[in-house]
Amino acid sequence: MSKKIFSGVQPSGNLHLGNYIGAIKNFVDLQNQKENQCVYCVVDLHAITLKQDPKILKDSIRETTAAFLSSGIDPNKSIIFNQSLVPAHAEGSWILGCIARMGWLNRMTQFKEKAGKDKEKASVGLYIYPILMAADILLYDATHVPVGEDQKQHLELSRDIAQKFNSDFNVPNFLQVPEPLIKKKFSRIMSLKDGTKKMSKSDASDLSRINLTDTKDQISNKIKKAKTDTMPIPSKINELEKRPEVENLLGIYSSLNNQNIEKTINEFSGKNFSDFKETLADLVVEKISPISKEIIKLLKNKDHIDLILKNGAEKANEEASKKVKEIKKIIGF
Picking from 169, 162, 166, 140, the residue whose alpha carbon sits closest to that of residue 321 is: 140
Is the separation of the CB atoms in 105 and 116 below 8 Å?
no
Rounded Cα distance, 39 and 251, in Å: 28
Task: Report the nearest approach of ligand TRP to the CB of residue 150 (Å).
Answer: 7
Rounded Cα distance, 82 and 10, in Å: 10
Residue closer to ligand AMP by CB (options 13, 232) is: 13
Residue closer to ligand TRP by CB (options 147, 256) is: 147
- The catalytic residue among 3, 114, 293, 315 is 114
Residue closer to ligand AMP by CB (options 136, 323) is: 136
Rounded Cα distance, 251 and 125, in Å: 36
DSSP 263-324: HHHHHHTT--HHHHHHHHHHHHHHHHHHHHHHHHHHHT-HHHHHHHHHHHHHHHHHHHHHHH
List residues binding ligand TRP (CB under 6 A): 6-8, 10, 43, 46, 133, 136-137, 145, 147, 151, 154
Task: Report the nearest approach of ligand AMP to the CB of residue 43 (Å).
Answer: 8
Task: Report the nearest approach of ligand AMP to the CB of residue 109 (Å).
Answer: 14
Position with the least CB separation from ligand TRP: 8
List residues binding ligand AMP (CB under 6 A): 9-10, 12, 18-19, 21-23, 147-148, 150-151, 187-189, 198-199
The partner in contact with residue 159, picked from ligand AMP, ligand TRP, none with C-beta cut-offs of 5 to 8 angstroms by kind, is: none
Rounded Cα distance, 147 and 109, in Å: 16
The partner in contact with residue 12, picked from ligand TRP, ligand AMP, none with C-beta cut-offs of 5 to 8 angstroms by kind, is: ligand AMP
Query: How many residues in the chain?
Result: 333
- The catalytic residue among 201, 216, 227, 315 is 201
Q: Is 114 a catalytic residue?
A: yes
Task: Report the nearest approach of ligand TRP to the CB of residue 255 (Å).
Answer: 19
Task: Report the nearest approach of ligand AMP to the CB of residue 8 (Å).
Answer: 8
CA atoms within 13 A on the CB side of 190: 18
Residue closer to ligand AMP by CB (options 99, 189) is: 189
Amino acid at 186: F
Catalytic sites, residue numbers: 114, 198, 201
